[in-house]
Structure 1
């Protein structure tokens, strides 16, 4: 994977508590780690189809998001293939087109990146409030460490910044 362009995309609505977890995770990864030049980190928010130019430019897509799965809040999920729709941003998005449909559109345009989701089962994703729930905020560093480990397993190696707390 040394020559592939990687996009780490944090998605979600920061106005709905833990729904913004993916955005906060990508901010954390950008602040606390150094990434190879071929890796781009991006706040994708709720842009849906507007993300298509970025998706067309990458070979491998890592999406950080919240996932509604069968486990308890705080569970970390790794989703690939057909499981992508378990991610909130990959299913029936309220914002334009969901990300899976955007990937399908990329495929029709001639380039669909390989995609994986690293997600967290949210504690609260319905309360309109800027900021994560206290429980999700407490899990953010551990979630990001697990995400970095998963990416390293796939050949995307980051260095922890020593100038951070």
Structure 2
């Protein structure tokens, strides 16, 4: 891919339920810590599901950041593509999960489904009502963000680190 590739980094999840909000929290961290090339856009997709269709259809490469139930220990980082994207559907009681795959299908039917990858983390707790991620997820968040940065670079984007005060 090249620097002409339009890249959307989409953090999804419900930030009110501990680690279910991992994707959104990762995008917030990336937005605060980095400045990206013009072809990279970061977006808090929350639990918008089908309402994300326009944003998804407007990119060439979609990087979804989410909590993933992959069966590994909490804090494990996953990279899912193709049929493995369905593994991010582990939260049966979460609206954004089912809607995300359905949204990709509808984008394809409407004429443009971007290349997609899910960068996810195994949650420790996704049922407790708490706006903070678990201690284990907070500890592993830099690894999740590094995996997203690698995907951005591989897709033709780049960044600079925002100087800390």
In the superposition, the TM-score normalised over structure 2's length comes to 0.91
In the alignment, what sits opposite 1:29?
A: 30
8 Å CA contact 1:104–1:112 kept in 2: the answer is yes
- Cα offsets for 1:104-125 (capped at 9, x unmatched): 1011111111100100000101
Name stretches of at least 5 consecutive residues in structure 2 with no aligned partner: none
| Residue in structure 1 matched with residue 108 of structure 2 by the alignment | 107
How many residues were matched structurally?
164
Contact 2:124 2:136 in 1 (8 A): yes
The whole-number CA distance in structure 1 between the counterparts of 2:108 and 2:100 is 12
Distance 2:57 2:119 in 1: 20
Shift of residue 92, structure 1, vs aligned partner: 7.2
Residue of structure 1 equivalent to 2:55: 54
* Structure 2 residue aligned with 1:73: 74
Task: Measure how far apart 1:93 and its partner are.
Answer: 4.2
TM superposition score normalised by structure 1? 0.91
Whether contact under 8 Å (1:89, 1:98) holds in the other structure is: no
**In the alignment, what sits opposite 1:40?**
41
CA deviation profile, 1:32-83 (whole Å, cap 9, x unmatched)? 1111101110000000001011011111100000110021111000000000
Q: CA RMSD in A?
A: 2.0
Q: Please list every run of 5 or more consecutive structure 1 residues that lacks an aligned counterpart in the other structure.
A: none
- The 3 A distance-change label for structure 1 pair 138 and 128 is same
SS of 1:22's equivalent?
A: helix
- 2:127 aligned partner: 126
Once residues 90 and 79 of structure 1 are traced to their aligned partners in structure 2, the CA distance between those partners, rounded to angstroms, is: 16
